[in-house]
Amino acid sequence: MANHQTFISYYIVLILVPFVWSSNTLTANQILSISSNLTMISPGNVFELGFFKLAGSNTKEDGERWYLGLWFYKASSKMNPLWVANRESPLYDSKGALKIYKSNLVIVNQSGNIIWSSSNAVVPSPPKTSSVVAELLSNGNFVLRYSGDNRGDSFLWESFDYPTDTLLPGSDLAKGVNRSLTSWISNNNPSTGIYALLSKNQEMFLLDAKSSPVYRRSFGLKTPYALGNGYYLQVTYDGLLQQFPTTREKTLIWHAPRDDCDRYGLTCGSNSVCSLEKVDVHEVAGCTCFKGFKPRNWWRWWLRSMTEGCQKISRLNCTGNGFQVLKNVKLPDTKDAGVERSIGPKECRQRCIEDCSCTGFANVELDCFLYSSDLVDLRTLQSGQQLYIKVATSYLDLLIDGDRTDSYEVVAARVQRIEFLTIAEATNEFCDSNILGKGGFGTVYKGKLVEGTDIAVKRLTRMSDSGTSQFLNEVNLISELQHFNVISLLGYCFHSDEHILVFEYHANRSLDLYIFGSTESSKLSWKIRHKIIKGIARGMTYLHHDSCVTIIHRDLKVSNILLDKDMNPKISDFGISRLVSRDHIQTNTNKVSGTRGYIAPECWSDKIFTKKTDVFSFGVVILEIISGKANYKFTNSKGETSLLTCMWRNWEEESLLEVVDPSIMDSSSSPLTMIQIVRYTQIGLLCIQNIPQDRPTMSSLVVMFESSTELPRPKPPVYFNSDTTYSTFEIGSTSMSTTMSSLVRTEYSTRHTYNVLPCVNVRNFNRASSV
Ligand SMILES: *[C@@H]1O[C@H](CO)[C@@H](O)[C@H](O)[C@H]1NC(C)=O
Ligand SMILES: *[C@@H]1O[C@H](CO)[C@@H](O)[C@H](O)[C@H]1NC(C)=O
Ligand SMILES: *[C@@H]1O[C@H](CO)[C@@H](O)[C@H](O)[C@H]1NC(C)=O
Ligand SMILES: *[C@@H]1O[C@H](CO)[C@@H](O)[C@H](O)[C@H]1NC(C)=O
Ligand SMILES: *[C@@H]1O[C@H](CO)[C@@H](O)[C@H](O)[C@H]1NC(C)=O
């Protein structure tokens, strides 16, 4: 930059023209020096151009620095200038000046060296009758032109071509040579920082240090890059795009990126729409595939890693395509889009139909945007635009019919909503051979996703329309639960009156298949059984005490315990009883949901489910696991019809070996095994105590299994059998009649046998082998 000739000319000018002026032009024989304290002011007193100072740290190298800049007329010095000429080469003292030298604008320092020049190019000398002048225009553009030229656009140079971090109204990023904004490096250093704003494919992109998009602004598509009058845009040093009104007061009216949906490619991949969901007090970004599309990778999608985006469920047949409309969205990136001017919506649509590679279109005023690849960077926006996405008509009919209530502005649940068609495909259209189990709540199918993942699909019994919001509430609730011994919900679906839950599939299916299956039971050693019992206790403790909400299972039973490939128990079907039974409860208040053999006695009279009723069911499960017998159909040679009474008697008589599942006691059993079995039986008996207060809590059960502390003695169980329309309490043992009669007196009546009014329709309690 050093130029010895400048040295001379600078002093010549300085000496010859001791000039003071207040105008918006600088002629070839004038200078604007720092020491003069003068500035140039645009017509209309909007902008002011002059030297300004930024204080550095105290080291000499980083002392005060002087720059030539533009700011709003009389703006506070706290407001950073809108344009900086010599952003990379400040003056380090207050001795310097701006002038015109060889038809260029230059800034010289005290020793006359040029430290900044508007251009390195040699500008042709002006015609004889003319000279070069610099002028600050009313829009803030600082230009160099021939004095003879009557304005117009024929500038020799203009500051709008070299913006710093601010785009002023009237400037246009798409015009001129590479116009782009670059952030300051820090709040008090205007040299080039890491963020840039440039226009590409008719849109604005905010780029980071790696030139990757951070944010894309598609606005006012008609004149996409110019700002509306009265506003300017600024890129902050820390990567925000901000918009302010063109006033001295810096009032932020808009900024981006505002949230995770704004961040380009951060949250959602292609062919999906990003929207914000309210989770408690937080807003969380989530993605929804377009209709007729599905996640490229379900697993990662379910883990909420959605950047891989979605793909078409089936290939489009070029002849039979329709469009789904997305309202109020930010239009996708136009990088692969064609634009046809002056075309109305009808013709735009027609062009997309005729072009097999067209994936969608949008019509903004009379501009038709035809997309030809995956659609990226979409989000819901309150005052967004309409996008038409091509789908096979077969999907369209189905989806429009079934998903009337759907809206892209609402994502209802935290887990993924899955297309009905995807589920139908995975289960081979709910083929009977894929049924894993059937129960009161619906049918469970095994499914296989296209990429090979196994799933368990629970197709709930049909619910009324109003059941959908209840269903979604429940889905949200279940999806919150994360515990090793509690099954994970992967997704849900509702479609017309279908309500479907999708769970992990567990290879070894459910516990009942092992303990009640004569051949399979040999596979369950005591080691595995006691691991299962402890696992259930941990999972139930989580549901009762540790999860965000208290969950009463209401239907704990061996067939609701699933086993993973390592035989770890996973509790399933919690809460669902509430979901499905709600409608029933209104029509028939006499029904008690639950499963015969597992229902605590107080449920029959009070019809109230509590944590302690779950403990009762768990007690039955423990005793079933130990005995290998199902309580609900138990009989033995002694005429006992209750597993619970039988187990209690044998425990009391210390003859437990008679009722323990023979396949537990193999050659590897040690005396320790038997001690453990006795203790676990005792714990099981404590769970089935008649009075709820006598039953331990789930969390105390976990401690009982782990420790060897002394346990209370269980009282004999009171059991009633609901095989018939009469339900009969049966007293455990006649030898205990003294104890029993007092129990019965306080709890029910003085009679040993007690008839309960038929409050349950037994047929509703098919044993549900549910997954
Ligand atoms: C310019 O301003 C400074 C500080 O305000 C002052 O010291 C100096 O005398 C002024 N110079 C002229 C030429 O007015
Ligand atoms: C002027 O600028 C030149 C070149 O950058 C530099 O060598 C010189 O020291 C500067 N003079 C003053 C007084 O700052
Ligand atoms: C514009 O930018 C490109 C790439 O950054 C560069 O190669 C080219 O020289 C620039 N043109 C001008 C006139 O600055
Ligand atoms: C596309 O649809 C038309 C009419 O529905 C049908 O005749 C044709 O076979 C289909 N082509 C393919 C590749 O599916
Ligand atoms: C459980 O499933 C795994 C994987 O399918 C299998 O290897 C294992 O043998 C099964 N265990 C039992 C007891 O069936």
Q: Is the CB of 178 under 6 A from ligand 3?
A: yes
Q: State yes or no: 638 annotated in a binding site.
A: no
Tell me which residue of 319, 460, 479, 322 sits closest to 400, measured CA to CA. 322
In this prediction, residue 171 carries a pLDDT of 85
Question: Cβ(737) to ligand 4 under 6 A?
Answer: no
Residue 279 and residue 155 share a domain: no
Query: Is residue 68 pLDDT above 90, yes or no?
Result: yes
What is the mean pLDDT of the segment spanning 641-660? 89
Please give the Cα distance from 407 to 300 (Å, whole number). 24
555 is catalytic: yes
**Active-site residue identified among 333, 377, 555, 614:** 555
User: Is the C-beta atom of 120 inside 6 A of ligand 3?
Assistant: no
pLDDT tier at 760 (50, 70, 90 boundaries)?
Answer: very low
Using the mean position of ligand 4's atoms as its centre, give its distance from the Cα of residue 314 in Å: 13
H or E stretch including 394? Answer: helix 393-402
Residue whose CB lies within 8 A of the most ligand 4 atoms, among 314, 316, 317, for a mutation test: 317
Burial call 479-515: b when 16+ CB within 10 Å, e when fewer: bebebebbbbbbbbbbbeebbbbbbbbbebbbbbbbb
Tokens of 9: 């000319």
Answer yes or no: is 437 within a domain.
Answer: no
Distance CA 371, CA 51 (A): 48
Give the model's pLDDT for residue 767. 28
**455-468 tens-digit pLDDT:** 999 888 765 544 56
Rounded-to-integer distance, Cα 685 and Cα 150, Å = 103
Residue with CA closest to ligand 4 atom 6: 319
The alpha helices in 204-264, defined as continuous H runs, are: none
pLDDT at 623: 95
Distance CA 383, CA 409 (A): 12
**Site to substitute for ligand 3 among 157, 178, 182, most atoms within 8 A of C-beta:** 178
pLDDT of residue 84: 97
Ligand 2 mutation target, pool 109, 114, 116, most atoms within 8 A of CB = 109
Ligand found nearest the CA of 519: 5
Tell me the C-alpha distance between 489 and 303, whole Å.
Answer: 11
Which pLDDT score, from 0 to 100, does residue 687 have?
96
Which residue has the CA at smallest separation from atom 5 of ligand 1?
37
> Looking at the domain assignment, is residue 673 inside a domain?
yes
Q: Across residues 462-491, what is the average pLDDT?
A: 72
From the CA of 198, the nearest ligand is: 3
Confidence of residue 9 (pLDDT cuts 50, 70, 90): very low
CATH number of the domain residue 132 falls in: 2.90.10.10
Q: What is the pLDDT of residue 498?
A: 80
Rounded mean pLDDT of 602-609? 72
User: What's the number of CA atoms in the CB half-sphere (13 Å) around residue 598?
Assistant: 24
Q: By percentage, how much of the chain surpasses pLDDT 70?
A: 74
Q: Within a domain: residue 478? A: no
Cα 363–chain centre separation = 29
356 lines ligand 4 (CB under 6 A): no
Residues 100 and 27: beta-carbon distance below 8 Å: yes
pLDDT digits (tens, 9 = 90+) for 704-716: 998 888 899 999 8
Is residue 315 lining ligand 4, measured as CB closer than 6 Å?
no
Q: Is residue 180 part of a domain?
A: no
Residue 667 sits in a domain whose CATH number is 1.10.510.10
- Count the helix, strand and coil residues of the chain and give each as a percent rounded to the nearest 5: 25, 25, 45
153/305: higher pLDDT = 305
Of 147, 165, 144, 164, residue with least CA distance to 155: 144
C-alpha distance from residue 662 to each of 249, 384, 530, 579 (Å): 86, 69, 15, 39
Cβ 613 vs Cβ 603: under 8 Å:
yes
Protein residue closest via CA to atom 4 of ligand 5: 565
Extract the tokens encoding 369: 């945007």
Residue closest via CA to ligand 2's atom 9 equals 111
**475 falls in which pLDDT band (50, 70, 90)?**
confident
**Bigger pLDDT: 727 or 459?**
459
Q: How many domains does the chain have?
A: 3
Residue nearest to atom 11 of ligand 2 (CA): 111
Ligand nearest to the CA of 93: 2
Is the CB of 129 within 6 Å of ligand 1?
A: no
Dmax (CA) of the chain: 131
Picking from 120, 142, 159, the residue at the C-terminal end of a domain is 159
Average pLDDT over residues 415-443: 82
Q: How confident is the model at residue 674 (pLDDT cuts 50, 70, 90)?
A: confident
SS (H, E, C) 78-97: CCCCCEECCCCCCECCCCEE
The ligand 2 atom nearest the CA atom of 89: 5
Give residue 202's pLDDT band: very low, low, confident or very high (50, 70, 90): confident
- Do residues 278 and 149 share a domain? no
> Greater confidence, 141 or 188?
141
How much distance in Å is there from the Cα of 177 to the middle of ligand 3? 8
Cα of 341 from ligand 5 centre, angstroms: 64
CA of 257 to the centre of ligand 3 (A): 27
Ligand 2 atom 2: residue of nearest CA: 113
Which residue, 395, 418, 440, sits at the end of a domain?
A: 395
Q: Is 668 helix (H, G, I), strand (E, B) or coil?
A: coil
Q: Which of 505, 508, 527, 663 gets mutated to test ligand 5 (max ligand atoms within 8 A of its CB)?
A: 508
For 306-309, the CB contacts below 8 A with 24+ separation are 306/267, 306/268, 306/269, 306/272, 307/265, 307/266, 307/267, 307/268, 307/269, 308/269, 309/268, 309/269, 309/270, 309/271, 309/272, 309/374, 309/376
Average pLDDT over residues 542-546: 83
| 744 confidence band (pLDDT: 50, 70, 90) | very low
Q: Supply the residue whose CA is at minimum distance from atom 14 of ligand 5.
A: 508
**What number does the ligand 4 atom closest to the CA of 317 have?**
1
CATH of the domain at 323: 3.50.4.10
- Give the confidence band of 625 by pLDDT, cuts at 50, 70, 90: very high
Q: Is the CB of 320 under 6 A from ligand 4?
A: yes
Res 180: pLDDT: 92
Q: Which of 111, 114, 116, 117 to mutate to test the pocket of ligand 2 (most atoms within 8 A of CB)?
A: 111
Please give the average per-residue pLDDT across 12-25, as a whole number: 53
Residue 289 or 223, more confident = 289
- From the number of C-beta atoms within 10 Å of its C-beta (0-12, 13-18, 19+), residue 215 rates as buried
Question: Is residue 404 pLDDT above 70, yes or no?
Answer: no
Of ligand 5's listed atoms, the one at least distance from the Cα of 566 is 1
| Closest ligand 1 atom to Cα of 36 | 13
For residue 94 and ligand 1, the question of a CB distance below 6 A is answered with: no
pLDDT at 317: 62
Domain closes at, from 112, 135, 159: 159
Residue that wins the pLDDT comparison between 668 and 622:
622
Cα within 13 Å of Cα(730), Cβ side:
17
User: What is the 226 CA–ligand 2 centroid distance (Å)?
Assistant: 39
| Whole-number pLDDT of residue 574 | 73
Cα(677) to ligand 4 centroid in Å equals 66
- pLDDT level of residue 34 (50, 70, 90 thresholds): very high
CB 168 within 8 A of CB 152: no
Average pLDDT over residues 489-502: 82
| Atom of ligand 3 at shortest range from CA of 177 | 13
pLDDT of 585 > 50? The answer is no
Q: Which ligand is nearest to the CA of 35?
A: 1
Q: Classify residue 12: in a domain, yes or no.
A: yes
Higher pLDDT, 745 or 162: 162
Instruction: Dig out the tokens for 396 from the structure.
Output: 């369209």
Question: In terms of domains, do 153 and 276 share one?
Answer: no
pLDDT classification of 395: cutoffs 50, 70, 90: low
**What mean pLDDT do residues 39-50 have?**
93
The pLDDT of 360-375, averaged and rounded, is 90
Q: Is the CB of 36 under 6 A from ligand 1?
A: yes
Which ligand gives the minimal distance to the CA of 33?
1
Distance 459 CA to ligand 5 centre (A): 26
601 Cβ partners below 8 Å, 6+ apart? 690, 718, 719, 720, 729
The helix/strand/coil state of 306 is coil
Query: What pLDDT shows up at residue 592?
Result: 52
Statement to judge: residues 602 and 723 lie in one domain: yes
Reported as a single tens digit per residue, the pLDDT across 214-261 is: 999 875 444 434 456 788 999 999 999 998 888 888 888 888 898 989
Residues 517 and 388 in one domain: no
Q: Which of 64-78, 495-509, 566-580, 616-630 has the least mean pLDDT?
A: 566-580
The pTM of this model reads 0.55
Q: How large is the average pLDDT for residues 383-403?
A: 63
Q: Which ligand is nearest to the CA of 120?
A: 3
Q: Which domain holds residue 324?
A: 272-395
- pLDDT the model gives residue 66: 92
Nearest Cα residue to 324 out of 220, 424, 402, 423:
402
Q: Can you point out the beta strands (E) in 561-705?
A: 561-563, 569-571
Site residues for ligand 5, CB cut-off 6 Å: 507-508, 523, 565, 567
pLDDT at residue 279, rounded to an integer: 63
pLDDT of residue 532: 95
- For residue 727, what are the contacts with CB-CB under 8 A and spacing of at least 6? 604, 720, 721, 755, 756, 758, 760
Question: Mean of the per-residue pLDDT values for the chain?
Answer: 77
CB 771 within 8 A of CB 562: yes
Residue 556 clears pLDDT 60, i.e. is over it: yes
CA 165 / ligand 3 centre spacing (Å): 18
Distance CA(33)–CA(97), nearest Å, equals 4
Q: In this structure, which residue's CA is closest to atom 5 in ligand 3?
A: 178
Q: Letter for the amino acid at 430? A: F
The neighbour count for residue 11, using CB atoms within 10 Å, is 11
Specify the residue with its C-alpha closest to ligand 3, atom 4: 178
Tell me how far CA of residue 384 lies from CA of 218, 325, 328, 427, in angstroms: 10, 13, 4, 38
Nearest CA among 721, 713, 563 for reference residue 643: 721
How many residues does the structure list for the chain?
771
pLDDT of residue 416: 73
Is the domain of 23 the same as that of 145? yes
In terms of pLDDT, which residue wins out, 467 or 348? 348
Banded model confidence at residue 280, pLDDT cuts 50, 70, 90: low
Q: Give the pLDDT confidence score for residue 73 in this predicted structure.
A: 92
| 89-136 tens-digit pLDDT | 999 888 999 999 888 999 999 998 999 999 866 656 666 667 889 999
Tell whether omega for the bond before 257 is within 30 degrees of 0, i.e. cis.
yes
Domain assignment of residue 467, yes or no:
no
* pLDDT > 90 fraction of the chain, expressed in percent and rounded: 31
